[in-house]
Homo-oligomer: A and B are copies of this chain.
Amino acid sequence: MKAELIAIGNEVTSGDIADTNSAWLARKLREVGVEVDRIGVVGDRLELIQEVLREASSRAPVVIATGGLGPTFDDLTRKAAAAFAGVELERNRDAVRHLESWFRNRGRPMPRENLCQAEIPSGAEMLGNTRGTAPGFSIQVKGSGSEGGSHLFFLPGVPQEMRAMYRDEVLPRLRQIFPDGSFLRHFKIHLFGIWESEANQRLRQEFTPGEMGHLGIRASGGIITVKAYLDDPSGSGSSPLPARLQALFRDVAIGEGEETLESALIQACNARGATLSVAESCTGGLIASRITSIPGASSAFSQGWVVYSDAAKVNLLGVPRELLRTHGAVSEPVARALAVGALERSGSDVAVSVTGIAGPSGGTSDKPVGLVWFGAAVRKEGSARNILSFSRRIKGSRSRVQLFSANTALDLARRALVSPHPESLFRT
């Protein structure tokens, strides 16, 4: 089954924000066998919104629009939907009750302007909002393009409100309207430490052109994701693609599905009862922040240091002044000393460190912008420990250097944990 998405709002067409709502909806729809092949984004203009509603509903049996349901003057979706459906706006009593209790529960008087949010097109069905003020609504129109007409759902643009409303209100209705919707499943495997072109080459050698039609590949921050669409309405899981992809990329795979470098790292720690600490210079807290974005990270992670200055490296983690003088902060000995300092002071089982030149300035011919040294210290029996280190030259902007460095450090920490001889895994 096919759906089209519409994102409404000047904040999207003007580029103030990217349309993350449509991305989320497309992912969720795909999980239940609904494929999105077009997304339309329009500004806050009454005629334009009507136009895209007409176009999308003439092509697709399901249209989900987000945005423009707020209480402010530039929220025009309610009006546009009513005009498109050829009906008036009507104050919905359930919606008024919802708004009143929303503000009562928060001990605030309801601002007058919020009342307009209770007005939905006459004949539309209200969709409850458990996370915010704006009720959504759904209308059905006789379709010109598709048999049985088109079902249109209007959701708020605030992501957490939109997501809850999709789960609680839209999804159950989709299952009712299209009870025989087949499930289009997919399998994703994430790789790190391989070029996109190299991954592509391996795929071409392994799979037939026909099979390649079921695969997709993308890269972000050094992470390559290969996705296989499993056209398997029975859901019996008999597709051989996942197992073949796992075998093809065994050496560089970091996770599958919704797994990330950071979730895989926490899992690796928990599986071994191991704990982790970090010492960050040029990533400035990004590695710790990624780790602690995972619920329950506290089982594996207790502390981190952001040692941005030379003095901080000396005072907080005991890096010898002499090392900094002789080799500079961005150097192998300092990366190793940072990792050992973090290991010793935290008592953790693994510590990783990053020190580099994120740019845009600060580079020299000797040590260019993008040069980053990584260190890892792994506790062995008694007081013994393994120390690893390597460098990378990362091209691109400051944020790319920081992102790529954080990814490399997260991968390093996991490999240091899971491999008996992690040294052999690093390709420089």
- Complex copy number for this chain: 2
> Which residues does chain B contribute within 8 Å of A37, judged by CB atoms?
13, 42-43, 45, 48
Interchain CA distance A131-B298 in the complex, whole Å: 40
What DSSP secondary structure best describes chain A's contact surface?
mixed
A36 in complex: contacting residue of B15, B209, B286, CB < 8 Å: B15
Contact check, A73 vs B212: say whether CB atoms are below 8 A apart: yes
Contact of A176 with B by CB under 8 A: no
Contact check, A23 vs B27: say whether CB atoms are below 8 A apart: no
Contact check, B197 vs A71: say whether CB atoms are below 8 A apart: yes
User: Which of A12, A13, A209, A361 has most B Cβ within 10 Å?
Assistant: A13
Contact check, A284 vs B295: say whether CB atoms are below 8 A apart: no
Contact A293-B41, Cβ < 8 Å, known A10-B216, A71-B197, A111-B201: no
Nearest chain B CB to A316 CB, angstrom units: 6
> Which residues does chain B contribute within 8 Å of A43, judged by CB atoms?
36-38
The number of chain A residues touching the other chain, given as a range, is 35 or more
Contact of A114 with B by CB under 8 A: yes
Q: Give A11-27 as 1s and 0s: 1 = Cβ < 8 Å from B's Cβ atoms.
A: 11111111110111111
Q: Give A283-318 as 1s and 0s: 1 = Cβ < 8 Å from B's Cβ atoms.
A: 111111111110111100111111111011001100
Contact of A167 with B by CB under 8 A: no
Contact check, B220 vs A17: say whether CB atoms are below 8 A apart: yes
List 23 A-B residue pairs with CB atoms under 8 Å apart, sorted by A's residue number.
Answer: A13-B38, A15-B24, A17-B218, A18-B22, A19-B39, A38-B42, A38-B43, A70-B196, A73-B209, A74-B217, A113-B197, A113-B204, A158-B219, A282-B292, A284-B292, A285-B285, A285-B288, A285-B290, A285-B304, A285-B306, A292-B402, A293-B402, A303-B312
